[in-house]
């Protein structure tokens, strides 16, 4: 419990529900309960299709139950961070009950079928919301969907492998697609049959089959446009906004291509990171080739933070220690966190920062500058066709 500008706020920690770090909070004098993103006016994502760590449906349900037990009868208003309020104790309690039970039902029914040997795809196709949820708008899949949430529950416990050894080591998409198209009688025959399926309204199947053809030969305009038409129809039919966006973006890319632009340069997110997080980010930016054959230790001093760090390189990987310096290091770097963030954000290179006096390198200057000149540049990549001949 905290007093913020004279207002009492009681917090409930809810990690690994809607986010790795999140909390609900209650204002006792106002009889107001904020459920953050844990209770909204739609079915939320147990896994957002943009990509993120899978969320814990069971813990999510339990956090809602705890909040209701602590504050349900003591609240007149319920708010959420992205949605409209609810008024009245009985109304908000009814809302919390349905939200609690929705996430628990998805969790329990998914794992019930998983323990009977069903795969994630089979469970997603089988489960439908029972009547007890169907009359409430706030339990519908306008954002998250039952289909991909079910897969998320499965994945959290059992991972990507469905225990069928035929799926253990499949060919990558491009190679398998070429073989599928060959087995199906060639591109012309696949397109002919796909057009018939499109006329029958089986857009899911057309999108799936044309995906093989586009990956086998992305230059086939007829295949690209047929898949785009199918994805467009799926987008129009989607209840979920995120599914609609995914389908329509795929259709747009098939018709117009994917722009080749850097997605990391100039981003300010690096400036919100701690020094430790910046070093973790650095490891993701360095390729095996850049690290191959290197064994080195670098001492770092952050003059603005008053922190010392060691960055080591060994076996094509980096390792890091906080609040330490080595007696013998290949180089010692003195700088600010802002300078390192600029380098990782593509705003100013290490070479430019050294020239401008923003950092000092003692020892093997060439090693440090070479290392930071080989940062991988993350670029916007195609999602609906092969990546092509690109550097890893």
**pLDDT over threshold 80, residue 267:** no
Q: How confident is the model over 98-115, as pLDDT tens digits?
A: 999 999 999 999 999 999
The confidence band for 263, taking pLDDT boundaries of 50, 70 and 90, is confident
The confidence band for 270, taking pLDDT boundaries of 50, 70 and 90, is confident
Q: How confident is the model over 113-122, as pLDDT tens digits?
A: 999 999 999 9
Q: Please, what CATH class does the domain formed by 268-372 belong to? A: alpha beta
pLDDT of residue 389: 56
pLDDT of residue 189: 98
pLDDT of residue 380: 86
Q: What topology does CATH give the domain 173-256? A: 1.25.40
The residue with tokens 């439908």 is: 128
Report the share of the chain in percent with pLDDT over 90.
91
pLDDT of residue 178: 97
Please give the mean pLDDT across all residues of the chain: 95
The confidence band for 266, taking pLDDT boundaries of 50, 70 and 90, is low
Q: How confident is the model over 130-187, as pLDDT tens digits?
A: 999 988 999 999 999 999 999 999 999 999 999 999 999 999 999 999 999 999 999 9
pLDDT of residue 22: 96
pLDDT of residue 271: 87
CATH of domain 2-158: 3.60.15.30
* pTM, entire model: 0.90
Q: How confident is the model over 302-349, as pLDDT tens digits?
A: 999 999 999 999 999 999 999 999 999 999 999 999 999 999 988 899
Average pLDDT over residues 1-13: 94
Q: How confident is the model over 344-388, as pLDDT tens digits?
A: 988 899 999 999 999 999 999 999 999 999 999 888 889 999 986
pLDDT of residue 390: 55
Parse the chain into domains and list their residue ranges. 2-158, 173-256, 268-372
Report the share of the chain in percent with pLDDT over 70.
98
pLDDT of residue 265: 62
pLDDT of residue 259: 86
């Amino acid at each position: 419990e905290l007093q913020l500008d004279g207002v009492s706020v009681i917090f409930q920690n809810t990690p690994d529900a809607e986010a790795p770090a999140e909390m609900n909070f209650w204002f006792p004098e106002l009889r107001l309960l904020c459920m953050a993103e844990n209770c909204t006016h739609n079915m939320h994502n147990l896994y957002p299709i943009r990509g993120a760590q899978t969320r814990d449906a069971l813990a999510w349900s339990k956090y809602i139950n705890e909040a209701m037990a602590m504050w349900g009868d003591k609240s007149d208003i319920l708010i959420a961070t992205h949605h409209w309020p609810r008024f009245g104790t009985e109304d908000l309690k009814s809302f919390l009950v349905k939200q609690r039970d929705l996430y628990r039902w998805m969790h329990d029914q998914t794992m019930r079928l998983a323990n009977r040997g069903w795969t994630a795809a089979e469970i997603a196709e089988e489960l439908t919301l029972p009547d007890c949820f169907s009359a409430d708008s706030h339990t519908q899949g306008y954002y998250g969907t039952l289909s991909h949430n079910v897969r998320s529950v499965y994945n959290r416990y059992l991972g990507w492998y469905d225990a069928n050894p035929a799926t253990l080591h499949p060919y990558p998409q491009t190679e398998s697609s070429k073989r599928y198209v060959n087995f199906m009688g060639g591109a012309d025959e696949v397109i002919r049959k796909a057009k018939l399926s499109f006329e029958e309204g089986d857009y899911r199947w057309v999108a799936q089959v044309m995906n093989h053809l586009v990956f086998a030969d992305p230059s086939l305009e007829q295949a690209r446009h047929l898949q785009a038409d199918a994805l467009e129809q799926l987008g129009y039919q989607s209840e979920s906004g995120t599914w609609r966006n995914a389908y329509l973006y795929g259709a747009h890319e098939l018709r117009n291509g994917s722009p080749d632009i850097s997605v990391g340069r100039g981003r300010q997110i690096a400036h919100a990171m701690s020094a430790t997080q910046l070093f973790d980010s650095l490891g993701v930016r360095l390729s095996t080739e850049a690290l191959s054959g290197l064994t080195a230790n670098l001492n770092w001093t952050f003059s603005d933070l008053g922190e010392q760090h060691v960055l080591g390189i060994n076996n094509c990987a980096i390792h890091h220690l906080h609040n330490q310096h080595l007696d013998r290091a290949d180089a010692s770097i003195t700088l600010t966190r802002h300078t390192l963030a600029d380098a990782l954000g593509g705003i100013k290179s290490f070479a430019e920062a050294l020239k401008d006096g923003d950092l000092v390198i003692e020892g093997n200057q060439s090693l440090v500058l070479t290392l930071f000149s080989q940062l991988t540049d993350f670029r916007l990549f195609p999602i609906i066709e092969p990546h092509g001949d690109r550097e890893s």
